[in-house]
A and B are shown apart, each in its own frame.
Chain A
Amino acid sequence: MARILVVDDEESIRDILSRRLLQWGHEVVTASGAEAALVHMRQAPAEIVLCDVIMPVHDGVWLLRQITEGWPSTIFVAVSGAQDMNTVVQMRKLGAVDFVPKPIGREMLHQALERALATLETRRSS
């Protein structure tokens, strides 16, 4: 189980993700933007961040850079629409371990989370 921060400017996406992650037994906090996400991280760092790519003010790439610099052990997973594919590739190069395409399917979310948890386990044990 992990503490997971969900970042998305769309409330409906935050709700869907939160509900599923809670069902799977994780601790979930949400943020509607990158700045709010950093506030959460400073208060109690999440082990996994699930973050939308396109958001107003600061996008997912900006937040990924902040997380990588400030909390290098945190696992970052991008959530994206099909039109954001080039940005997703950029985020993978910057260290995002996986991404979940929208609309968010249960299977794809589960796969991404399994991978994030496996990476987290590796980092914990190393």
Chain B
Amino acid sequence: MARSAPAAIGLLLTISATGVAQAPPSLEEVMTSFAAYMSAYAQDYAATIASEHYTQFAGRSRTILDSDFGTVRLPGSPWLGLRDVVRVNGAPVADREARLEELFTNASAAAGLNAQAAVRANRIVDESTRYNIGTVGRTINNPALVLELLDPGRHAAFRFSKDGEDTVAGIRTWRIAFVEQGSPTVISGADDRDLPATGHIWVDPASGRLVRAEVVIRFPFLNRPTKMGLGTVIITFKDVPEFHMWLPDTMIERYDELPGRRLQDGQATYTNYRRFRVESQENVDLPALPR
């Protein structure tokens, strides 16, 4: 009889624990979790390289880019998505070396790139954009957009509101709408005009984890000021168990001339994630051991 008492207490505790309905978190609480998640995420994600398979459509044209893709933050600059194109429509890019891994290995990316590496990083960006097809020039067509736009340091310049709930990648998420209100905006036009971003993020309210992000911008055409365009970029994330992280899974982009004329679009998938190691070599003068 005496031994049954703890079991009964245990049972009561279990019932009690499951019987109390937890109050749903507030938007402020979810956004605080999200900000903490994004802060930690930015550092860990910056140490990865993925294989990107990217198909672009523009009218009747189509191009397929296979690239190494990594993300870095230059000192005093925004997050930068580095697309080092390996093959174009299946044909290897001539005179190409494994530049991205070399760049990341030789530079302390966690603390920011050194000046020499920054020059090389910008060269990789410039070279990769020449493979883009379509009339809308852009550098927002990669997952680094999300890191920059949703950086916790920028949240004060955005208005967030809960817009509903969706199940995404098997997780019950909050669909949170956002509107960028500050200036200068993260995304700008070719004439340096502010292009405020709107869109949605899908966040696991329990952990603050970002599962999906949709960024929408409206932009004018330089040569036709009365016409407006609509650009949409969607990034989805997937669990990569060996990294203990949710990493970009797909990127979808589309650019329309309103109303309803598709200019170009594309979709990319990210696989074969690998983590590069930043190794430092230090010479330390150890005191002589006492004899």
> Which residues from chain A sit less than 8 Å from chain B, CB to CB?
82-83, 85-86, 88-89, 92-93, 97-98, 101, 103, 105, 107-108, 111, 114-115, 117-118
Contact = CB atoms under 8 A, between A and B. Distances in A.
Contact of B256 (A97, A101, A114, A117): A114
B267 A107 contact: no
B227 to A, nearest CB: 15
A107 B57 contact: no
Interface stretch (B68-76, B230-238, B273-281): B230-238
A98 B262 contact: yes
Contacts of B260: 111, 114-115, 117-118
Contact of B234 (A89, A92, A93, A101): A101
Contact of A107 (B169, B232, B238, B269): B232
Contact of A85 (B167, B230, B250): B250
A97 B256 CA distance: 13
Contacts, number: 52
B166 interface: yes
B267 A111 contact: no
Interface in B221-245: 230, 232, 234, 236, 238
Q: Which range holds the interface residue count of chain B? A: 20 to 34
Nearest to B165: A103
Interface SS of chain B: strand
Given A82-B169, A111-B256, 5 more contacts: A103-B168, A105-B214, A107-B232, A115-B256, A117-B260
B18 to A, nearest CB: 28
A89 B262 contact: no
A81 to B, nearest CB: 9
List the 10 closest pairs (A to B, CB-CB), nearest first.
A114-B260, A82-B236, A103-B166, A118-B260, A82-B250, A115-B262, A89-B55, A85-B250, A85-B269, A115-B260
B291 interface: no
Nearest to B166: A103
Contacts of A85: 250, 252, 267, 269
A101 B167 CA distance: 13
Contacts of B261: 115, 118
Interface in B252-274: 252, 254, 256, 259-262, 265, 267, 269
Contacts of A115: 256, 260-262
Contacts of A97: 262
A92 B269 CA distance: 16
Nearest to A88: B267
B216 interface: yes
A114 B200 contact: no
Contacts of A93: 62
Contacts of A111: 230, 232, 254, 256, 260
